[in-house]
Structure 1
Amino acid sequence: MNKKEAPTIESVADLARPYLHASHFRIERELSGVSTYVYRIDTGKEVFYLRILPEQGMSFGVEVQVHHQLRQQGVQVPEVIGYENQHETLGMSIMLVREIPGSQAGQGMSNEGYEHTLREAGKQIALVHRVPVDGFGWIIRGADEYGTVLRAEKSVIDEYLNEFLEGDLGFLSEQILHETEASRIQTVLKNGASLMKRHESKLVHGDFDDSHIFQLNERYTGMIDFGEIQGSSPLYDLGHFKLHDGQHYTGYQALAGGYGEIHPLTAED
């Protein structure tokens, strides 16, 4: 899919000014954004983030819908204060959000504070998983998708998990994987799919780790970055977090404990 070039700071200032109601502000490009262009805007009193979707024909409409829906359910996600399906000058979809205060969970925190933050985040991601999705895989983000029901690209979970499996394993088996290893991977995914099928498709964050969980003074303040939203088993986000747990800090048990207060986890889960 064709991508447009990132707008200049001057262009961003022009399009942001009507939303901010401020004559003076500072803008800088956040290079951490992968799927979107991200700009940090500091007015001196508040901080905002402007996200710009570079793919032609794609829209933030569904993501805006998700933010509104989650905030109504008590999930602390960034407040959307500006959105355009397609900005007239840029020809790209834009979304302006208010900053979640604080910093990433784990940075300069005590173990007790980190675990408290992760327990609250577990409760919050459980609330995210209450949102139903029609299908599995990436949430469809076309310009006309804004509505009441979120739709994903695949109708069944097997299509979602196995879409590129045969080709990828074939490529890796040429020089990296032995035949027995490729066979074991297929078996693991088959068994995993049967477990995930026990849950209906729900909205998942898609990139859930402690870099997207924020805290201030060792208290949870919210979660960010719903650019990877998918329809999947709710176990997806818990599994994704556990995969990354311990790389910097260890918090999965606290996260799962908070999650279980909202959605009790079975032995099979």
Structure 2
Amino acid sequence: MNQSIRGYTLTQWVGAGGMGEVYQAFHADTQRTVAIKLLSRVEQAERFRNEASVQASLRHPHIALVYEFFVEKGLWCLVLEYIEGPTIEQFIQKNGPLTEESAWKVLGQIASALEYLHSRGIVHRDLKAGNIKIARHGKAKLLDFGLARFANSPKLTHQGYLIGTASSMAPEQFSGQSSPASDCWALGVLLYEMLTGQSPFGGSTHSEISRRIQRGDYLAPRKLNPNLSKASERLIDKLLTVSPERRLTAKQVMEALRHPALLEATDWLGPVLKWWDRVKP
């Protein structure tokens, strides 16, 4: 593979997403290895441009950089930081669950990235294990801003069309609503998966997954990993809360990780509210 696009030589196919193909590429003049996302679905051009606009405005150690965006001979190209390493999803498939220490480290890094996004009025809307890579020294990097949007930007989704990955979507997203709290729900799903190796809201059909999510109905993570600390289980519980107003924010997650004792305190009201979420009509 030696195809060249505006000085970038495509060296290796990396994968495919909802909007196009991703390749590893090398730029001889800058001696830089990059990832290039090529749009394959022309009807997604406006969303592709939105991804470039949102991500290019960001500078955070745990968010992949955008270097360039251009259209070359009718081909839409997004040039991104190339991150060597597996996604969390790939890591779990190969190695099983992460250790609690490693999972907390990743969680803290991604919570930091979300707090940065949310403080700028940006919602990612597709946070999941497949969109986070683990680079050298365990450094996590958040990828794929194809569904991200500024709070005041126009919607690019048709009415009634769900966006995101069903198993990581917050209850309110099934009604077309999304907010920073929706990203924090996905953070809870991510932590559950990292610690157990399984999705909290698995199901054989989309409607079954949706029903379980909207009732907050998931198996206690300690039943899958008996060695989990009470703090980890409590943290998951406070993120996978059906009411967006009661979920921890990204900033609160970072604070809880710094002071785990805060999660050990007796919480009488939380279980009652969780029970009500599951039984209310």
> TM-score scaled by structure 1?
0.52
Shift of 1:34: 1.9
The equivalent of 1:35 in structure 2 is: 19
Quick one: which of 250, 257, 260 aligns to 2:252? 260
Asked if residue 100 in structure 1 is aligned to residue 80 in structure 2, the reply is no
Deviation at 1:244, TM superposition (A): 5.7
- 2:172 is matched with none
Query: Which of the residues 104, 108, 116 maps onto 1:119?
Result: 108
C-alpha distance in structure 1 between counterparts of 2:253 and 2:104, whole Å: 15
How far residue 233 of structure 1 moved from its aligned partner, in angstroms, is: 1.4
With normalisation by structure 2, the TM-score equals 0.50
Structure 1 equivalent of residue 5 of structure 2:
15
**Number of residue pairs matched by the alignment:** 175
Q: Structure 1 residue 28: deviation in Å?
A: 2.0
Report the 3-state secondary structure (helix = DSSP H, G, I; strand = E; otherwise coil) of the residue aligned with 2:125.
coil
Matches within 5 A, 1:1-269: 13-16=3-6, 18=7, 20=8, 26-28=11-13, 30-31=15-16, 33-41=17-25, 47-53=33-39, 54-56=41-43, 58-59=45-46, 60-71=48-59, 74=60, 76-84=62-70, 86-87=71-72, 89=73, 91-105=74-88, 107=91, 108=95, 109-132=98-121, 203-216=122-135, 219-230=138-149, 231=151, 232-243=178-189, 245-247=191-193, 249-250=195-196, 253=235, 259-260=251-252
Cα distance between partner residues in 2 of 1:234 and 1:57: 24
Q: Deviations over 1:154-206 (max 9, x none)?
A: xxxxxxxxxxxxxxxxxxxxxxxxxxxxxxxxxxxxxxxxxxxxxxxxx2111
- Give 1:93 shift: 2.0
SS in 1 for 2:4: helix
Q: Distance in 2 between matches of 1:112 and 1:29?
A: 29
Identity %: 17
Larger relative contact order, structure 1 or 2 (CA cutoff 8 Å, min sep 6)? 1
Mark the CA change 1:76 to 1:247 in structure 2 (over 3 Å): closer, same or farther: closer
CA contact (8 A) 2:24 2:36 kept: yes
Contact 2:87 2:132 in 1 (8 A): yes
Asked if the contact 2:67–2:81 (Cα under 8 Å) also holds between the matched residues in 1, the reply is: yes
